[in-house]
Structure 1
Amino acid sequence: MRQRRSPTKSSTKPIMYTLSVLLPLLVLVLALLSQDDQPLALKVDGAAPVREPVVAEPAPASKPRYSAKQRRAVGYLQTAMGHFEAQKWPLVVEECEKAIAADPDLVFGHALMGNALNVMMQWERAADSWRKATELEPTSFEFYYHLGFALSQLSQDQVNNQKKHTIGKQAIESFETYFKLAEGDSDATTEQMSLAHASLAAIYKANKLAEKQELALSHFEAAAALDHTNELAFFNIGLLYAEKYEKRGDEADLENALRAIERAVTLDPTNAKYVAVRDALVGHSSPAELMAAMQQL
């Protein structure tokens, strides 16, 4: 049985980022839906003259702005948010399922459940939730980003190469859609775009074809350029250049590898993997010795 990977700093970072974006929107939506349709009372100054009441024809009963099923769904979603703040992820999923059953088109129900499933590392269910969210809100770059992230994690769990390839391709398509939607959008942050490039690069890196390795390197470099604190991007840049050095023996590749690994170590000096590769590079190990050190990671 394969062991489930524990969440890493790089994997939880994008999840926590989304919470800061979605929760304010959820609060606003819940507030709007929970408002009564009663008119606001007019406050009258006691010193002002009082006019005679005007008898008006009774107004026809207005149709409620929100249906009973929408209000019921919002009630479940409010409960889910309480569990979310308490980090009770299974309960979040349970309440979101109730909300979605009451109103299948409640997009934030799918998104909130997707967030909880991401934290629980239930990637297949998370991908299903984010996919539904993109169907309901196809212009949301946030939803495509998290769909791509869930699919990229799911692809890593696959033993069957064909299934890994299929899911990886879906993840690539999701990230490409994300970049198209996020480009020029003032709400898109460089931090999130960096994480998207790094996730996309990891998919390409898993494919050992030379052209895919070049794509991986270009996306890791884009991630590092967007966020100079993305140590995982710098580390992978170093690894890819080290592999180039192992194959070609070009000193320029060794210099690029060392520069990137040094940056990763500076950002996270307690990471044993970063230090091990850095030490091998600094020692000017032979290509074979360097690869041996990398294979022990």
Structure 2
Amino acid sequence: MRLRRSPAKSSTKPIMYTLGVLLPLLVLVLALLSQDDQPLALKADGAAPIREPVVAEPAPASKPRYSAKQRRAVGYLQTAMGHFEAQKWPLVVEECEKAIAADPDLVFGHALMGNALNVMMQWERAADSWRKATELEPTSFEFYYHLGFALSQLAQDQVNNQKKHTIGKQAIESFETYFTLAEGDSDATTDQMSLAHASLAAIYKTNKLAEKQELALSHFEAAAALDHTNELAFFNIGLLYAEKYEKRGDETDLENALRAIEHAVTLDPTNTKYVAVRDALVGHSSPAELMAAMQQL
């Protein structure tokens, strides 16, 4: 797998970097659609479009490259992009809805709206947007990542256990498709891959069956291996090993728990949750005392 690390951590929400791969292509699409109907040619070196030479002979009439419907949709999408840059999320959604109404197959309209809805934490609508985007572009690992993320958040909000399980299963399937598509793709980043593993682990962690807890641990460990600054992954690794220690009393589990929690504390020394568990582990508390400390988090 060839992965590249993102050049810098975003100061905005983790989901905000989601269009990093899509935006350049979106800008190109907008630029092409904003041209008149004269055919365009792209230079081989990727430079800006240039007009083809004018042919002296009369050319037969041809249909416009882009329909009026597409141009109208792109106009709305251009306005939505402006609102996106200004972080005016409700206005982004409003303009994307207009774009989609004009052209339901405008995949970037669904993706841009999904991003805005993610930020607004409207998970059900966000999942609908990302699901439509995956239907229109089934080879995009980005879209499946965000569909899985929205579904995982939606599952957490469910009170009904059956509905929570159903949505959680859909999230797992989306993340698994993401991993398959991202495998070997040079545009996949270690940061995003780490977040995907952590999100998938969090879904498994809610299921207290031993086999699901092992799956959760394996995905948290994969997340930590990909991104050594993923403090939540290290913290959850520590918790899962601490729970193992509580059940089995194996000192190896205690050592693994302490190592992971210590790393989480190093990354965020002001986090009282991390410090509380670390202190319990360092004090070699009894399993019962350790669980009591964890239950107070």
**TM-score, normalised via structure 2 length:** 0.90
Give the 3 Å change call, closer, same or farther, for CA 282–197 of structure 1 in structure 2.
Answer: same
Give the 3 Å change call, closer, same or farther, for CA 49–261 of structure 1 in structure 2.
Answer: closer
Give the 3 Å change call, closer, same or farther, for CA 51–23 of structure 1 in structure 2.
Answer: closer
Query: How many Å apart are 1:39 and its aligned residue?
Result: 6.7
**C-alpha distance in 2 between matches for 1:105 and 1:77:** 13
Query: How many Å apart are 1:216 and its aligned residue?
Result: 0.2
Moved more, 207-216 or 13-22: 13-22
Give the 3 Å change call, closer, same or farther, for CA 287–63 of structure 1 in structure 2.
Answer: same
Give the 3 Å change call, closer, same or farther, for CA 5–137 of structure 1 in structure 2.
Answer: closer
Query: How many Å apart are 1:133 and its aligned residue?
Result: 0.2
**C-alpha distance in 1 between matches for 2:44 and 2:17:** 47
Give the 3 Å change call, closer, same or farther, for CA 113–41 of structure 1 in structure 2.
Answer: closer
**Structure showing greater Rg:** 1
Q: Is the 8 A contact 2:13 2:119 kept in 1?
A: no
Q: Is the 8 A contact 1:118 1:126 kept in 2?
A: yes
Give the 3 Å change call, closer, same or farther, for CA 56–152 of structure 1 in structure 2.
Answer: closer
Show structure 1 runs of 4+ deviating over 6 A. 1-12, 39-55
Query: How many Å apart are 1:14 and its aligned residue?
Result: 3.5
Give the 3 Å change call, closer, same or farther, for CA 269–45 of structure 1 in structure 2.
Answer: closer
Q: Is the 8 A contact 1:277 1:294 kept in 2?
A: yes
Give the 3 Å change call, closer, same or farther, for CA 132–45 of structure 1 in structure 2.
Answer: closer
Give ranges in structure 1 of 5+ residues lacking alignment. Answer: none
Residues 87-120 of structure 1: CA distance to partner in whole angstroms, max 9, x if unpaired?
A: 0000000000000000000000000000000000
Query: How many Å apart are 1:11 and its aligned residue?
Result: 12
Q: Is the 8 A contact 2:40 2:50 kept in 1?
A: no
Give the 3 Å change call, closer, same or farther, for CA 55–65 of structure 1 in structure 2.
Answer: closer
Residues 242-284 of structure 1: CA distance to partner in whole angstroms, max 9, x if unpaired?
A: 0000111111000000000000011111111111111111111
Q: Is the 8 A contact 1:111 1:130 kept in 2?
A: yes
Query: How many Å apart are 1:3 and its aligned residue?
Result: 38
Moved more, 114-123 or 29-38: 29-38
Residue 29 of structure 1: aligned partner: 29
Query: How many Å apart are 1:66 and its aligned residue?
Result: 0.3
Give the 3 Å change call, closer, same or farther, for CA 8–209 of structure 1 in structure 2.
Answer: farther
Residues 70-98 of structure 1: CA distance to partner in whole angstroms, max 9, x if unpaired?
A: 00000000000000001000000000000
Q: Is the 8 A contact 1:10 1:232 kept in 2?
A: no
Q: Is the 8 A contact 2:191 2:226 kept in 1?
A: yes
Give the 3 Å change call, closer, same or farther, for CA 24–176 of structure 1 in structure 2.
Answer: same
**C-alpha distance in 1 between matches for 2:49 and 2:14:** 60
**C-alpha distance in 2 between matches for 1:26 and 1:282:** 52
Residues 114-163 of structure 1: CA distance to partner in whole angstroms, max 9, x if unpaired?
A: 00000000000000000000000000000000000000000000000000
Moved more, 30-39 or 67-76: 30-39
Q: Is the 8 A contact 2:148 2:170 kept in 1?
A: yes
Query: How many Å apart are 1:52 and its aligned residue?
Result: 21
Q: Is the 8 A contact 2:245 2:251 kept in 1?
A: yes
Q: Is the 8 A contact 2:3 2:189 kept in 1?
A: no
Residue 133 of structure 1: aligned partner: 133
Query: How many Å apart are 1:6 and its aligned residue?
Result: 25
Query: How many Å apart are 1:38 and its aligned residue?
Result: 3.5
Residue 41 of structure 2: aligned partner: 41
Give the 3 Å change call, closer, same or farther, for CA 290–106 of structure 1 in structure 2.
Answer: same
- Amino-acid identity (%): 96
Asked if 1:71 corresponds to 2:71, the answer is: yes
**C-alpha distance in 2 between matches for 1:2 and 1:187:** 9
SS at match of 1:46: coil
Give the 3 Å change call, closer, same or farther, for CA 186–97 of structure 1 in structure 2.
Answer: same
Moved more, 41-50 or 259-268: 41-50
Query: How many Å apart are 1:16 and its aligned residue?
Result: 1.8
Q: Is the 8 A contact 2:238 2:256 kept in 1?
A: yes
Query: How many Å apart are 1:20 and its aligned residue?
Result: 2.2
Residue 106 of structure 2: aligned partner: 106
**C-alpha distance in 1 between matches for 2:155 and 2:48:** 72
Give the 3 Å change call, closer, same or farther, for CA 175–58 of structure 1 in structure 2.
Answer: same
Give the 3 Å change call, closer, same or farther, for CA 95–51 of structure 1 in structure 2.
Answer: closer
**C-alpha distance in 2 between matches for 1:188 and 1:49:** 28
Residue 278 of structure 2: aligned partner: 278
Query: How many Å apart are 1:24 and its aligned residue?
Result: 1.8
SS at match of 2:12: helix
**C-alpha distance in 2 between matches for 1:140 and 1:259:** 37
Query: How many Å apart are 1:61 and its aligned residue?
Result: 2.4
**C-alpha distance in 2 between matches for 1:118 and 1:277:** 31
Q: Is the 8 A contact 2:42 2:50 kept in 1?
A: no
SS at match of 1:12: coil
Give the 3 Å change call, closer, same or farther, for CA 89–59 of structure 1 in structure 2.
Answer: same
